Structures are given as structure tokens and as C-alpha cells.
Structure 1
């Protein structure tokens, strides 16, 4: 029997690449989108309407999938938002929105699918986090915090659900060539801001990294490998050698040495 996979944020970027690859491997794939009709002609798999920050929307979408397929074998929590800006100048509603989407959203979807997976005695939940979640990055502090919080939450949750035969893991990608740079929230570059110059330079550097990022198919292949793995690891990291090595360096370097390395990388004083 083909496994049924649900991918949040499946209309573009990494989510779409994962869905298309799993479809080619004979999985039954469903994605989600806040506006599925917008992608009805371009998506290779069905898209369900879901707003991950709304519990009613999540429950309705999962219920619709269960009515059609009767089971959910794999959840890929991919939906998320980017956010940049000096923390001092980032509006609180945007900070709350980032946490609502990147942390509470995945938790909402996990809560919706767990009763079914528990009844099945099996299931795999894969959460797309970020290498940025392993470090506080300048002008991306809120984004780093949302992804770090998700990583730690899943560390705990995977131990809680292990008794039910449910497997859970995190994949932290580095920079991939997607449209995330265009869709993320940027705190406005204020003319009289003391952060104006350094924030502007950092934004340019971040966009260059995404434009030169890796093929999302690389993430799709890792997701497939995890689904087929009997006992997935707690964490996976997917990206360039330097991005993955930066996580190792944070563990072994003194804090101020690592901070200086980041300051030099972003050309900050």
C-alpha cells in the first residue's frame, strides 16, 4: 500500500519539490496552501486549503484528507515564513505572526494528525527547521528563534510519541534556491534608523545566499530517505559544507570567537 503523505506549504519551493519527488516514488501526496486555487494548474499533486495558524482550518483539512484516504502515514511540516530586521524596529505583530506560523503552526498540524497515527500504530513526522535555528543571526534573530524553538519542541515531542510507534525528526536546511527571499517580511529600512547601513548590507548578502542556494531536490531526496529509515535521527542538516560546519564550530569555539566569525561574515562592526 502506498504511503499517504501530507506536506504543509506544498505549493512552491521546498514543499513542492518534496511532493513532486515523493510522487515519482509512488507515494500518495497531498500538499496544503492558504490559496490552493491559485496553484491548481501548476501543482503536480492535490492541494488542500489550510492556514496552519488557525486550528479549525487545520482540523478541517486533515479531516478532508482522512475522508479521502483513510490514513496519514507521513506529515512534512514545511509551511513557514521568513522575517528580517533589527529586533528593536521589528513590529510586535510581525514577531507574533512569525512564531504563530513557524512554531505554533507545526504544533497545530501535529496535534491534528497524532490521533490517527496513534490509532494506526505508525507514522512519521518530519519538520523543516533551519540551520539558522542553531545560532542567533544578526537581523534574523526572530527567524532564528522560531526555528530554534521548533527544534527543541520536537526533541521533547518525539520522546513522548515514541511509545505509539510514531517517529519524529527535524531537517535543518541551509540556503536553497527558492522564492523565500521575495515572500518573507522585511522590517522597513528607516531613513533615520541607526541600523540603516548595516541592515541594508546584511539584506543584500542574505538575498545573494538564497539566489546562489542549492537545488530543493536535494531536500526532497533527504526526506525520502528519512521516510524509508527505520529509526530516523533527531536532527538532520542539509546545505553546503560551510553551513553545516558552522553548526559544528558553534559547539567547539568560545562564544565570543564564534560571534566575531559571524560579524566578519556579515561585514558588521
Structure 2
């Protein structure tokens, strides 16, 4: 079976970083994204990294739609396709769901929606 191609957002720490390592361990290909690629592009940042199977890309899911779409197109070109999209980037904000429309409530949501919509 051919390796899967993963696009994983928010890979500079936590679950995203661990998921990159797990996919690489299975010999899958990964496009790892973060707001700043200088941190995730350092050698051996991801355990089990095979430089041929790992590409890094700067992506902030709060960027305007056109910029996010361009980043996804770039990611797709790196391996020719994307099989798995993991929308991991984000942060928590303490607000009431019932509160009036607060920009912070949707700050990261729009970008995740754009990523998913573009991949469909």
C-alpha cells in the first residue's frame, strides 16, 4: 500500500508534534505546518523524521482565505496530493458560548473551516 500524505496543522508542540512523529514512523509522508517554520524545521525536531517524507510549511489558520488556500495548494504540490487533513492548530479562549458575537470566538474556527472546505 502506498504511503498516506498527511497535512497536519499546529505541529510545533503537543498533539500535532506527536501525530507527525507517529505518521513518519509508519513511513507516511507529512506536511507539517506551524505559524513559524523556523522552530519545526530544525534537524531532529520531529522524532523518526525522514527528510524525504517530511516537509514543513508556514501556515496560520487565521490568515485570510486566499492566503490559506495558497498554502494548501503549496502543500498539495509537495507530495502531489493530500490524503489526510488534521486541523490541529488552535487555542482556547474562556468565553460563554451564549455571549454575543465575540470576534475571538471565531478567530481560529474560520481558518479550520477554510482548510476543510478547500480539501473537499
Q: TM-score, normalised by structure 1?
A: 0.37
Gaps of 5+ in 2: none
- Give the CA deviation at 1:12: 1.0
Query: Residue 100 of structure 1 corresponds to which residue in structure 2?
Result: 107
Larger proportion of helix:
1
Which of the two has higher C-alpha Rg? 1
Number of corresponding residues:
107
| CA displacement 1:17-59 (0-9 Å, x = unmatched) | 1111111011101111111112221244432111112212311
Runs of 4 or more, structure 1, over 4 Å off, are none
| Residue from 83, 91, 94 that aligns with 1:73 | 83
Residues 16-165 of structure 1: matches in 2 within 5 Å? 16-41=17-42, 42-43=45-46, 44=49, 45-54=54-63, 55-84=65-94, 87=96, 95-101=102-108, 103-114=109-120
Listed as ranges, the gaps of 5+ residues in structure 1 are: 115-269
CA contact (8 A) 1:50 1:61 kept: yes
- The TM-score, its normalising length taken from structure 2, stands at 0.78
Q: Which is bigger in relative contact order (C-alpha 8 A, separation at least 6)?
A: 2
Q: C-alpha distance in 1, partners of 2:33/2:106?
A: 19
**In 2, Cα distance between equivalents of 1:7 and 1:70:** 16
Distance 1:38 1:28 in 2: 19
Cα RMSD (Å): 2.0
